[in-house]
Structure 1
């Protein structure tokens, strides 16, 4: 069962186990977790930009 707040930790664990074992995701799983992958990639990009700006500022001083 999925909570209104988002996927449960159990569902996420099952998703990553399926991904690690190389089994194909069902269409339901792809729809359910697709937005999480996009959000995760966006968060990584933001963190990378912050780190690069911090490094650039540090090296200029």
Structure 2
């Protein structure tokens, strides 16, 4: 993961995130992409476009819940 958000700076956090993602059937790359979107929009007074960016990220990934 390439995130520099609090918890993800802790040694071993990457392995834990991957383990949880595997257990929940979530693509770690999708989580990474969603966190990147959050970082990009953080601090903005109006986060116009964040929902479109999230929707686009989710639509690019196959549905693993089936």
TM-score, normalising length from structure 2?
A: 0.28
Structure 1 or 2: larger helix share?
1
Larger Rg: 1
TM-score, normalising length from structure 1?
A: 0.30
